Amino acid sequence: MKLEDKVLRILENSRRIFVSGSDIARKLNVSRMAVSKAIMNLRKRGYVIESHPRLGYRYVEVDDLRLLDSYIRDINTKLNFKVLYFEEVSSTQDVAFSLINSGVSEGTIIIAERQTKGRGRLGRKWLSPMGGLWFTIILTPSISPNYVTLLSLMTGCAVALGIQDITNVRPELKWPNDVLINGRKVAGILVEMLAEADRLRYALVGVGINVNNEIPKEVSDSAISLQQVLGRGIPRIPLMRAILRRFDELYQRLVRGDVNSILKVWRSLSSTLGRRVIVYLGEKTIEGIALDVDEDGALIVKVNGEVRKVYSGDVVHLRFRK
């Protein structure tokens, strides 16, 4: 176990009570410097740890999304995140669309406790009861509209890594951006955009994560919540902080044009590559081996010796690898 995880365990066990840096250091037989470095790393991962000059450190499990804006002030991202919280909306994507003509700034996040008409990819509905994370990030990147698939792959990576930072569980990505744990969907991403000729005006990055919400019966064999995976509730504020940090880091690479490093991260998290897959492309389907993703984010599939590129569609992983 890494030192920072040992420190975290001590803080978690002394819930709501301050523990001094020297007590932690003594228990773990390390220096106080090492403890303060571990605390810094835990904060970087998203955890909310308060410090007091005399009392030491205290771990806070904040879940109340109304407080999110105040808890992301210190995360040091290049994107200037600002949160607009709603108790209930039709879809955070709709709210984001309605705001873009009022000069809303890049990094604005629309988040809601519940959505009544959540939207998924390919015209599907997305059930969004309370307890999950349903949000849209408004972006105005100066990238070509062709980068939109990459933006959604990148978001899948940020969500998977953020979940790993907070839970130590490593999710897998199914192309393009389903986030899976044990083969079941824990999060999905929907990127919508407003483009003019060859310029992207707005990208609305919608993220839905099953955190502590009930999984509706109709999707219970294909979806899973983090609460089900871990057998305990996960405070949503640290999780959001972790995801936003990861998102910011990867987004900076994308706007710099560093596509390869994004693809590298995606490949390392992917459970699609090397797999036999069926791809549903509207009316048609193809079956083959998923070989790679290219610099547009398209999936490269080998079908009967022929290499095909898939830009959008639904992938089903077949049981056997090649």
- Residues of this chain that interact with ligand BTN (CB under 6 A) are 91-93, 115, 118-121, 124, 126, 128, 134-136, 178, 188-190, 206-208
C-alpha dist (Å) from residue 225 to 122, 184, 185? 22, 9, 8
Give residues with Cβ within 8 angstroms of 231, minimum separation 6: none
Nearer to ligand BTN, 35 or 269 (CB): 269
Output 40 or 122, the one with its CB closest to ligand BTN.
122
Beta partners for 196? 199
In angstroms, rounded to a whole number, what is the distance separating the alpha carbons of residues 143 and 27?
51
Question: Nearest approach, Cβ of 316 to ligand BTN (angstroms)?
Answer: 14
The nearest distance, CB 152 to ligand BTN, in angstroms, is 9
- Least separation in angstroms between residue 126's CB and ligand BTN is 4
Give me the least distance between CB of 312 and ligand BTN, in Å please.
Answer: 12
In whole angstroms, the minimum distance from the beta carbon of 201 to ligand BTN comes to: 19
Q: How far is the CB of 292 from ligand BTN (least distance, A)?
A: 22
Tell whether omega for the bond before 176 is within 30 degrees of 0, i.e. cis.
yes
- 92 vs 227, which CB is nearer to ligand BTN? 92
Closest-by-Cβ residue to ligand BTN is: 188
Angle at 236 between CA 3 and CA 227, to 5 degrees: 85
- C-beta closer to ligand BTN: residue 56 or 118: 118
Q: Would you say 4 or 178 has its CB closer to ligand BTN? A: 178
Residue with tokens 């978690």: 12
Name the minimum Å distance from CB 112 to ligand BTN.
8
Cβ(71)–Cβ(48) below 8 Å? yes
- For the residues of 206-236, what is the DSSP string, one character each? EEEE-SSSPPPGGGTTTB--HHHHHTS---H
Complex with ligand BTN: residue 173 or 229, whichever CB lies closer: 173
| Closest C-alpha to 175, from 255, 260, 279, 264 | 279
Q: Give the whole-angstrom CA distance, residue 75 versus residue 68.
A: 12
Nearest to 138 by CA among 192, 74, 195, 65: 192
Measured from the CB atom, the residue of 38 and 207 that comes closer to ligand BTN is 207
Among 215, 214, 187, 233, residue whose Cα is nearest residue 63: 233
